[in-house]
Amino acid sequence: MAIIYGYPTGTPTTKDNVLGTQVDPVTEENKTVQFNIGQMNTLSANNFLETTFVLTAAQMLALHTAAGKIQLLPSPGGTKSIKLLAVSTFLDRVASFTSAGSAGIDLVIGTSTQARITPALYTAAASTVASLTTPFVNGTITSTLPLFATTATAIVLGGTSSLSIKLRYQILDTSAF
C-alpha cells in the first residue's frame, strides 16, 4: 500500500465511496467494505435514511391492482419499524396523468396509511417538485412490515410521465427504544 500523501487530494461528492470496517452481525468479524458518502451523511443526521424510488408510467397505471402494489422500503425485520419523516415528489412530466376519482397514492405499512400523495402532484400540467406538508395520515406504525405505494382507484395515463418519490425515514428498534 502506498504512503497516504502519495495519493492525490480530491473533493468528495455524495456519490463517492470511502473504505471502512463493518462488523458482521453473525460472525462478529470485521470486514473491509465501501461506504457511500451520501448514505454516511444521512446516517449521521440523527440516523435518518433517505432513498428515492421512481414510479414509471406503467407502474402508475397498475398501482390500483393487487399485483401493482409497489414495495418502496423492505421490512426492517425483528423488533424494528419504519418511521416516515418526510416525503417529497418530482413529477417528470411528459404528458399528464388524469385521476379517475382517485384519493391519491397511499404509502402504507400493513393497513396503516403513513402518507398520501394527492392527485394534484401527479396530474400537474408541468414538471413539478413538491413536499408533502403533512405526510402523516395515520400516526400508527406497524412493526416489522415493509412500506408500499398503492392506490384504491385507477390512475389514467395520458402519456409517459414518471413520478419520483423521495423518502426520509428512520428505523426504530423497540428492543433498544
Residues in the chain: 177
Whether residues 52 and 139 fall in one domain: yes
CA atoms within 13 A on the CB side of 9: 1
Whether residues 157 and 106 fall in one domain: yes
CATH number at residue 144: 2.60.120
119 dihedral zone (left: phi>0; alpha: psi -120 to 50; beta)? alpha
This prediction's pTM: 0.70
Write out the three cell numbers for 132. Answer: 408533502
pLDDT tens, residue by residue, 73-125 = 999 888 888 888 889 999 888 877 776 666 788 898 888 888 888 888 888 88
Residue 59 lies in domain? 48-176
Q: What is the DSSP string of 51-94?
A: EEEEE-HHHHHHTTSTTT-EEEE----TTEEEEEEEEEEEEE-S
Whether residues 101 and 19 fall in one domain: no
Cα distance between residue 159 and residue 134, in whole Å:
29
Write out the three cell numbers for 25. Answer: 452481525
Whether residues 12 and 71 fall in one domain: no
Write out the three cell numbers for 129. Answer: 417538485
Whether residues 53 and 24 fall in one domain: no
Average of per-residue pLDDT across 56-62: 86
pLDDT tens, residue by residue, 119-167 = 888 888 888 899 886 656 666 777 788 999 998 877 776 667 889 999 9
